[in-house]
Amino acid sequence: MLSHRAWAVPVLLLVLATLGACTYWSRDFDRLVDQSDRDFSRDPERNHTDVELEKLIKAPSSYMLMNVRFTALLNRQDEKIFVTMYSTFRQEDYYSFSVWPVGARVWEEQDRLRSVPTLYIRKDNPDLQKVVGAERYAVVHCRGQIMGDYDSGEQSWGRLPFIEVHNLDLGIGGPEYDDETIKLMASGLEDAAQKRPAVAKDKLKKAIQGTLGPAGRALALARLGLLHEESGQFELAVDHYELALDVDPANAEAKEGLDRALKVLERKRQIQAPK
């Protein structure tokens, strides 16, 4: 008579064969549902949550140990923010860099000072070369994990999220800004605020011709529209407001200005119309 142990092996083999014939293992099931033939065990996109960097900055503890994906503007490479008491990042193992939220108004001091200098990527990570070779103001698409946060004591920073970057890709099309264009933008806006319209127009026009991302371009065009409107050049004002809305359809300054300028032009047409 066969012992219980002797029966156990063929029974186990039968069960495994049945499972193999009638079910999908987890990796096969992922492919079946996704219908793209991707191997999710090698796909870094699957388990990352899309988060705006602004939200991470405001409440980093809410994302503790989460895998996140966000877009930012590269600021400085080779930062030196290594707080050994509050993180496991060591300078001998990691490279640190800083970024701004992608919508930051980098021509304004308040936004410019609020870059995040606590992003870390391992020195043996192949994507490190993308960071080292990138230009300032380049768009970067990051995937990583929030490893902690730290009260910097600086009003401009507040609590800093410690982010370990696992994967990084550069945006297409080069940097969003350059330092010279940002200086022109900031100076032109200041001249406009100080009621120096001729100088402001000249600087803002030069800024638009430079390297200026969508947020800056829409603002410069809308402000030029306002300057033309204030000088009685309503047709030019309409042109610039419309150009601003082409760049940013939600731009409130351009929407309000366009409505005002069109109303003025309509009243002029009615007055000039033959009786």
Mean pLDDT of 64-86: 87
Between 149 and 267, name the one with better pLDDT: 267
The two structure tokens encoding residue 157: 């920073």
pLDDT at 9: 40
Q: What is the pLDDT of residue 61?
A: 84
Structural domain range at position 69: 49-170
Helix (H, G, I), strand (E, B) or coil at 176: coil
Does the structure show a pLDDT above 60 at 43? no
C-beta atoms surrounding 253 within 10 Å: 17
Is 150 found in the same domain as 55? yes
The pLDDT of residue 275 is: 64
Residue 205 domain-assigned (yes or no)? yes
Helices then strands, counting H and E runs in the chain, come out as: 10, 6
Q: What is the CATH number of the domain that holds 95?
A: 2.40.50.140
**Residues 247 and 135 reside in one and the same domain:** no
Considering the entire predicted model, what is its pTM? 0.75
Same domain assignment for residues 166 and 116: yes
For residues 67-90, give the mean pLDDT.
86
CATH of the domain at 218: 1.25.40.10
Q: Which pLDDT score is estimated for 172?
A: 87
Per-residue burial over 111-125, b if 16 or more Cβ lie within 10 Å, else e, is ebebbbbbbbbeeeb
**21 vs 92, higher pLDDT:** 92
Residues 161 and 201 in one domain: no
Q: Are residues 187 and 148 in the same domain?
A: no
Q: What angle do CA 164, 165, 169 make, to 5 degrees?
A: 170
* pLDDT of 19: 31
Over residues 236-240, the mean pLDDT reads: 96
Does some domain include residue 263? yes
Query: Are 184 and 166 found together in one domain?
Result: no
Residues 176-204: what's their mean pLDDT?
A: 96
120 lies in a domain?
Answer: yes
Tokens encoding 204: 């803002």
Q: What is d(CA 170, CA 182) in angstroms, rounded to the nearest whole number?
A: 21
Domain boundary among 110, 141, 170: 170
Count of domains for the chain = 2
User: Mapping DSSP to helix (H, G, I), strand (E, B) and coil, where does residue 217 land?
Assistant: helix
pLDDT, average across residues 235-249: 96
Distance between start and end Cα atoms, the chain: 119
Query: Is 96:118 a contact under the CB 8 Å cutoff?
Result: yes
- Shared domain for 155 and 230, answered yes or no, is no
- In the predicted structure, residue 5 carries a pLDDT above the cut 80: no
Question: Quick check: is 36 in a domain?
Answer: no
The CA distance from 167 to 143, in Å, is 5
Could you tell me if 136 and 218 lie in one domain? no
Please indicate, yes or no, whether residues 161 and 262 belong to a single structural domain of this protein: no
Tell me which H or E stretch contains 96. Answer: strand 94-101
Of 170, 202, 228, the residue at which a domain comes to its end is: 170
Q: Are strands 67-74 and 49-50 parallel, antiparallel or unpaired?
A: parallel
Cα distance between residue 170 and residue 74, in whole Å: 10
7 domain-assigned = no
The reply to whether 164 and 256 lie within a common domain is no
Q: Out of 150, 170, 190, pick the residue that ends a domain.
A: 170
Burial zone of 209 (CB within 10 Å; 0-12 exposed, 13-18 middle, 19+ buried):
exposed
Whether residues 54 and 108 share a domain: the answer is yes
Per-residue model confidence as pLDDT tens digits over 117-144: 999 999 999 999 999 999 999 999 999 9
